[in-house]
Structure 1
Amino acid sequence: MDGYMRVVAFDFDGVLVNSYDCLRRVYDELALLMGMSDRELFVELMLAFEDVMDYLGIWDRFSWFNLIHKSPLITQKLNVDYLVSTYWRLRTSYSKVINDALHVLKKLKELAIPMYIVCGADGVPGLKEFRVSSSGLDKLVTDVITYGEGGRVKTLNDALSILKERHINEVIYYVDDKPKNLNELNIDGVIPVLLRIKPPLPRGFSWLVQLKKDVRVIDKLSDLLYLIRS
Structure 2
Amino acid sequence: MKCFAFDFDGVLVDSYSCLPSVYKKLAEYFGIENDEFVKEAIMLEDKYDAMEIFDKRIWWKDFFKKYGIMNVNEAMQIYWDERIKESKIMENCVET
| TM-score > 0.5, shorter chain as reference | yes
- CA drift of 1:85 comes to 0.8
CA–CA distance in structure 1, aligned partners of residues 93 and 5 of structure 2: 13
Q: Does 1:85 align with 2:77?
A: yes
Query: Map of 1:104-123 to 2, 5 A cutoff?
Result: none
- CA drift of 1:9 comes to 2.5
CA–CA distance in structure 2, aligned partners of residues 22 and 7 of structure 1: 31
Structure 1 or 2, whichever has the larger Rg, is 1
1:26 to 22, 25, 50: 22
- 8 Å contact kept, 2:61–2:70: no
- Equivalent residue letter for 1:26: V
| Count of residue pairs the alignment pairs up | 95
Match of 1:61 in 2: 56
CA–CA distance in structure 2, aligned partners of residues 67 and 90 of structure 1: 22
Q: Does 1:50 align with 2:42?
A: no
Q: Which runs of 5+ in 1 are unaligned?
A: 1-5, 103-136, 141-230
Match of 1:128 in 2: none
1:17 to 4, 13, 19: 13
CA–CA distance in structure 1, aligned partners of residues 48 and 79 of structure 2: 16
Larger RCO, structure (CA 8 Å, separation 6 or more): 2
Q: Which runs of 5+ in 2 are unaligned?
A: none
Question: Which structure carries more helix by proportion?
Answer: 2
Q: Compute the RMSD of aligned alpha carbons.
A: 2.0
Match of 1:99 in 2: 91
CA–CA distance in structure 2, aligned partners of residues 42 and 70 of structure 1: 12
What percent of counterpart residues are identical? 36
CA–CA distance in structure 2, aligned partners of residues 33 and 78 of structure 1: 13
